[in-house]
């Protein structure tokens, strides 16, 4: 009888200590999930603000050429103006591609963890929609600027960067599912 009472007492102490641990500052899973989702969308908003800033007059062709031209000359030496211009243009257009690819990656992740279940295609469409919306708005704003000129070709470059990121993620996701399915399937040796 005493051993039974002692066991009940120990189990009550353990149960109460577990209850105290769960209430002792460690956030519950739904709270952690909400925080994670909020952080993911905050990163999207921060990166969108970075893109919006880079699309402003302070980062126009004349402003960035002051920084990039000396670097091109330092790396490649004395080159003719036409070649330098082509390199400079390639750097600027690559920046469009990369910054919108990053936006697509961040948006894809935020949309994916916000969904109740894994919806890769939906996350991809949400990412492309945000990329298209921000790219169009940024180029429209630049069209009204005296220091910049908006271009539909830049929107295409931006969309290409976003699409490349989404397609890459979908391809990786598909391959990961195939690898998981292959490793979960019984091998021929296990069936024998």
pLDDT in tens, the chain (192 residues): 555 554 554 455 445 445 444 455 556 777 888 899 999 999 999 999 999 888 876 666 666 667 777 788 888 888 888 888 888 888 888 989 999 999 999 999 999 999 877 788 889 999 999 999 999 999 888 888 777 777 889 899 999 999 999 999 989 888 887 676 666 655 555 554
| 62 found inside a domain | yes
| 53 found inside a domain | yes
| 170 found inside a domain | yes
| 12 found inside a domain | no
**Helix, strand or coil for residue 80?**
coil
| 16 found inside a domain | no
- H helices present in the chain, as ranges: 2-22, 29-54, 61-76, 81-114, 120-143, 152-184, 188-191
Number of domains the chain is built from: 1
| 14 found inside a domain | no
Alpha-carbon distance of 125 to 121, in angstroms, equals 6
What pLDDT is recorded for position 99?
A: 95
| 159 found inside a domain | yes
Alpha-carbon distance of 17 to 153, in angstroms, equals 63
Burial of residue 60 (CB within 10 Å: 0-12, 13-18, 19+) is: middle
- Pick from 114, 65, 74: which is nearest to 92 by CA? 65
| 6 found inside a domain | no
Judge whether 161 and 98 are in contact, CB under 8 Å: yes
Phi and psi at residue 27, in whole multiples of 5°? Answer: -65, 150
Domain span at residue 181 reads 29-191
């Amino acid at each position: 009888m005493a051993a039974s009472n002692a066991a009940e007492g120990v189990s009550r102490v353990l149960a109460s200590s577990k209850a105290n641990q769960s209430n002792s500052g460690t956030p519950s899973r739904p709270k952690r999930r909400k925080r994670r989702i909020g952080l993911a969308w905050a990163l999207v908003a921060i990166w969108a603000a970075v893109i919006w800033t880079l699309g402003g007059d302070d980062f126009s062709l004349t402003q960035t050429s002051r920084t990039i031209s000396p670097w091109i000359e330092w790396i490649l030496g004395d080159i003719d103006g036409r070649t330098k211009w082509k390199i400079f243009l390639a750097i600027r257009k690559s920046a469009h591609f990369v910054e919108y690819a990053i936006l697509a990656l961040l948006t894809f992740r935020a949309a994916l963890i916000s969904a109740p279940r894994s919806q890769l295609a939906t996350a991809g469409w949400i990412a492309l929609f945000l990329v298209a919306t921000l790219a169009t708005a940024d180029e429209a704003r630049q069209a009204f600027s005296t220091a910049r000129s908006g271009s539909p070709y830049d929107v295409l470059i931006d969309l290409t960067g976003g699409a490349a990121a989404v397609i890459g993620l979908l391809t990786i996701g598909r391959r990961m599912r195939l690898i998981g399915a292959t490793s979960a399937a019984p091998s021929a040796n296990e069936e024998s």
